[in-house]
A and B are shown apart, each in its own frame.
Chain A
Amino acid sequence: MSRIDPLLTVRSLAKSFGSNQVLRSVDLDVPAGTVTTLIGPSGSGKTTLLRCLNGLETPDAGTVAVDGGPSIDFGGTVDRRTLGQLRDRSAMVFQHYNLFPHKTVLENVIEGPVVVQKRPREEAVTDATALLDRVGLAAKRDDYPFSLSGGQQQRVGIVRALALKPKLLLFDEPTSALDPELVGEVLSLMKQLAGEGWTMVVATHELQFAREVANEVVFMDGGVIVERGAPAQVLGSPREERTRRFVQRLTHPL
């Protein structure tokens, strides 16, 4: 864990949709083995930032570098292969899980390793089974996603991401589509992953998770990073008025 050599480095990242400037010069450093949580009001650009890191969106300008990969400069034209290198280093966990409904739990997990990464099928199955076992879903291996609860589906979503062996895990509000009583099982799995040294960037409204698990909390508003720092500082005694009001609203909604 060294602050000098971050696993993810983002500089001056910008992205617009038409005339809507969603990200304005975002800088971000994520050291290996740390958890960064992105918080901020709806529309502040959290999802867009995560999507840019994974190549789901192509930024208009700025650079992104992930562990050992090239520092990709989006100021110029970026070809598909370079974008592919960015994508292959990270894996996204979606708010709505986005499991493949026509594939069983196991098939969902091994699809990437076998079809894309060309790993031997038996090896992929062994790995996937071990991962599913770890998250308590070994018994659901051959079930289709529709028969699983939201919390179970999201845990499969996380396993599907882990099976790709990425350097960086990206989570876009992984618990906000869940019934409240199912949030805990997903958050505790994420906490466990953080403990194992996974590098994670997590957009979330779960301040409790940010407090307990994050190394750094980043508060975004209007496409810029307004404030960042240790959870206790940003959530406990924010320097910026906008941060203070946001945290206040989340902590005391009424």
Chain B
Amino acid sequence: MTGKDLSLVIESFWPITQGAILGTIPLAIVSFVIGLVIAVVIALMRLSKITIVSGIARFYISLVRGTPLLVQLFVIFYGLPSIGLTVDPWPSAIAAFSINVGGYAAEIIRAAILSVPKGQWEAAHVIGMSRGVALRRIILPQAARVSVPPLSNTFISLVKDTSLASTILVTELFRQTQEIAAFSGEFMILYLEAALIYWIICLALSAGQNRLEKRLDRYVAH
């Protein structure tokens, strides 16, 4: 690495990090929260005994998981305007990522709910709980514990996937890098720098995941 390279890395570090702080991270957090709400609803629908309800959930999950995220993003941002529905870059990105997380996390949450032993439902019944109360107070807290590791992985994937939002003009970490790279012509060094920053963010998230799991483990035998 030459001195010129090094000063470019240092100079570009703040603008790229700004892209992460103002773009990548909020985009990931907002989309993940909305996606989780969708996921719980879809998971409960999927578990419904009513065929139409579980059918709709099944269809949603299949559609989301069976199509590329990039295509979903393009349908919303570039496709919808042609039927008269123009959505700005940020809302488009949030919509696409939320819908996507909703599909993947729904399966995780469904599996987690099913992993709670039947005896827990029965004990809740015996103390007089309705199914709704049992779900909220007894089943979901236990399912949450089980779903933390896979949901953390979903979140980490999402953070990386937000780089796709650069294709619909959202100013996030990667788009910021692309602009500096196009201007300076130093593609290799700048894209490696972007990769490094993504990596650091993901390492921090993994560390956070470990701490969260330990905390949640307090009532489980080791």
Q: CB within 8 Å of B: which residues of A? A: 54-56, 84, 87-88, 91-92, 94, 96, 98-103, 111-112, 115-117, 144-147, 160-161, 164
CB pair A88–B128 under 8 Å, yes or no, is yes
CB pair B219–A117 under 8 Å, yes or no, is no
B136-166 to A contact mask, C-beta < 8 Å, 1/0: 0110011001000000000000000000000
From the candidates A55, A91, A100, A147, name the one contacting B138 in the complex (CB within 8 A). A100
CB pair A101–B128 under 8 Å, yes or no, is no
Decide yes or no: A144 and B123 within 8 Å by CB, A101-B142, A111-B137, A117-B128 being known contacts: no
CB of B119 closer than 8 Å to a CB of A: yes
Decide yes or no: A115 and B142 within 8 Å by CB, A56-B122, A98-B123 being known contacts: no
CB pair A112–B221 under 8 Å, yes or no, is no
Min CB–CB distance A56 → chain B (angstroms): 6
Report the Cα distance A115→B125, complex, angstroms.
Answer: 12
Report the Cα distance A56→B141, complex, angstroms.
Answer: 23
From the candidates A55, A96, A102, A161, name the one contacting B219 in the complex (CB within 8 A). A102
> A residues within 8 A CB of B117?
98
Min CB–CB distance A78 → chain B (angstroms): 15
> B residues within 8 A CB of A145?
219
B76-120 to A contact mask, C-beta < 8 Å, 1/0: 000000000000000000000000000000000000000001011
Question: For residue B220, which residue of chain A has the nearest CB?
Answer: A146
From the candidates B128, B142, B221, name the one contacting A102 in the complex (CB within 8 A). B142
CB of B133 closer than 8 Å to a CB of A: yes
Report the Cα distance A249→B194, complex, angstroms.
Answer: 74
CB of B202 closer than 8 Å to a CB of A: no
CB of B180 closer than 8 Å to a CB of A: no
> A residues within 8 A CB of B219?
101-103, 144-146
CB pair A102–B141 under 8 Å, yes or no, is yes
Min CB–CB distance B195 → chain A (angstroms): 40
